């Protein structure tokens, strides 16, 4: 019987699946050495205050440049890193980069600048180390917790154990803020918003991209913004690509936005250039020019 089942299973294992299983294995093997071989990078995407159009935050996003495969999408390798637990080490590395970077940008450009760092459910481990070392690292750098926003997803809160609540509470007490990422795409439960300390809701790109064409998406965005504000939560819209989307969101009272309209994720140097340009005084127009 087992043998028969085995054979049946194998017959479902098509050429395509075999190919993708091989790709997975290859990515998995090579991800192990990627950090040491300096193939991983942290890029930063501007988050803009929609009312002033000024960059006031950044999201740290992991990039992997493989010598033969080129850029590997996080959508492909993050799940592998999560399944194997590698995301714990890699995620801490992203966090430490972001923490050092936010210190630099606070000093050079904006004393209230924040960087948000994605934190996978796997990184909410059982030990107090998992909970405390972000705050300890910030302390070592002489930075307040308010420098960092931890981006979590609804899935984490869905099967939330006592530890997750405790973890977020310790973050909050240390000043680290919490953003609920991809809001509206998971098993959204409004009870989360009451139960957990949430500072930001990030409206998922899938609602923003059809804002113009789909009136129900507009209604959802408006409702999310009103609800969040009543709860004292700020709203960040993801994936703003057009001036029309920007205008609709500003009118709806959305606080912050992120998307290709403003900038793609870029390396830290290029991000510094963006901040430099926005802080440079606009040259005065002279009459005789």
Nearer to ligand C2E, 18 or 23 (CB): 23
Nearer to ligand C2E, 20 or 206 (CB): 206
What residues contact residue 164 under an 8 Å CB cut-off, 6+ apart?
Answer: 124, 156, 157
First CA to last CA distance, the chain: 88
List residues near ligand C2E by CB under 6 A.
45, 61-62, 73-75, 78, 87, 91, 94, 118, 120, 151, 181-182, 205, 238-241, 258-260, 265
Among 44, 135, 151, 193, which residue sits at the site for Mg ion (rule: CB under 5 A)? 151
Query: Does residue 181 belong to the site contacting Mg ion (CB under 5 A)?
Result: yes
Look at residues 41, 49, 44, 46 and name the one whose alpha carbon lies nearest to residue 263: 46
Please, what is the minimum distance in Å from the beta carbon of residue 94 to ligand C2E?
Answer: 4
Q: What is the spatial distance between Cα 69 and Cα 194, in angstroms, rounded to a whole number? A: 44
Query: Tokens 């899938």, residue?
Result: 206
Taking residues 4 to 43 in sequence order and writing x for each that binds Mg ion by CB under 5 A, - otherwise, the string is ----------------------------------------
Look at residues 222, 252, 239 and name the one whose alpha carbon lies nearest to residue 182: 239
Among 97, 118, 153, 258, which residue sits at the site for Mg ion (rule: CB under 5 A)? 118
Nearer to ligand C2E, 114 or 118 (CB): 118
DSSP per position, 224-257: HHHHHHHTT-EEEE----SHHHHHHHHHTT--EE
Please, what is the minimum distance in Å from the beta carbon of residue 45 to Mg ion?
Answer: 9
Q: What is the DSSP letter of 49?
A: E
Please, what is the minimum distance in Å from the beta carbon of residue 145 to ligand C2E?
Answer: 19
The half-sphere exposure of 176 on its side-chain side, counting CA atoms within 13 A, is 27
Query: Does residue 44 belong to the site contacting Mg ion (CB under 5 A)?
Result: no
Nearer to Mg ion, 174 or 265 (CB): 265
Q: Which does 58 bind (CB under 5 to 8 A by kind): Mg ion, ligand C2E, none?
A: none
Q: Which does 265 bind (CB under 5 to 8 A by kind): ligand C2E, Mg ion, none?
A: ligand C2E
Residues 64-103 that bind Mg ion (CB under 5 A): none
Please, what is the minimum distance in Å from the beta carbon of residue 7 to ligand C2E?
Answer: 37
Residues 233-272 that bind Mg ion (CB under 5 A): 238
CA dihedral over 233, 234, 236, 237, signed as positive or negative: positive
**Do the Cβ atoms of 198 and 233 come closer than 8 Å?**
yes
Type and span of the H or E element at 215: helix 215-230
What residues contact residue 29 under an 8 Å CB cut-off, 6+ apart?
Answer: none
Q: Which does 241 bind (CB under 5 to 8 A by kind): Mg ion, ligand C2E, none?
A: ligand C2E
What values do phi and psi take at 44, rounded to 5? Answer: -130, 130
Contact positions toward Mg ion, by CB under 5 A?
Answer: 118, 151, 181-182, 238
């Amino acid at each position: 019987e087992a043998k028969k089942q085995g054979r049946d299973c194998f017959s479902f294992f098509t050429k395509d699946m075999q190919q993708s299983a091989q790709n997975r294995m290859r990515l998995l093997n090579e991800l192990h050495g990627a950090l040491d071989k300096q193939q991983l990078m942290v890029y930063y995407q501007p988050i803009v205050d929609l009312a002033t159009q000024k960059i006031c935050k950044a999201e740290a996003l992991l990039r992997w440049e493989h010598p033969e495969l080129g850029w590997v999408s996080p959508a492909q390798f993050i799940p592998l890193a999560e399944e194997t637990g590698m995301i714990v080490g890699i995620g801490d590395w992203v966090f430490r980069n972001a923490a050092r970077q936010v210190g630099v940008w606070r000093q050079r450009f904006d004393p209230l600048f924040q960087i948000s760092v994605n934190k996978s459910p796997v990184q909410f481990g059982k030990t107090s180390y998992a909970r405390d070392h972000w705050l300890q690292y910030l302390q070592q750098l002489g930075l307040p917790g308010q420098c960092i926003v931890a981006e979590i997803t609804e899935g984490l809160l869905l099967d939330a154990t006592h530890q997750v609540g405790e973890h977020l509470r310790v973050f909050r007490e240390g000043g680290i803020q919490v953003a609920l990422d991809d809001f509206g795409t998971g098993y959204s439960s409004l009870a989360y918003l009451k139960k957990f300390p949430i500072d930001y809701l990030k409206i998922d790109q899938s609602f923003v991209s059809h804002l113009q064409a789909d009136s129900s998406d507009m209604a959802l965005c408006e409702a999310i913004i009103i609800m969040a504000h009543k709860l004292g939560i700020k709203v960040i819209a993801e994936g703003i690509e057009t001036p029309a989307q920007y205008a609709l969101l500003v009118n709806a009272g959305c606080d912050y936005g992120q998307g290709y309209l403003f900038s793609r994720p870029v390396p830290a140097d290029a991000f510094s250039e963006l901040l430099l340009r926005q802080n440079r005084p606009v040259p005065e127009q002279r009459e005789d020019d």
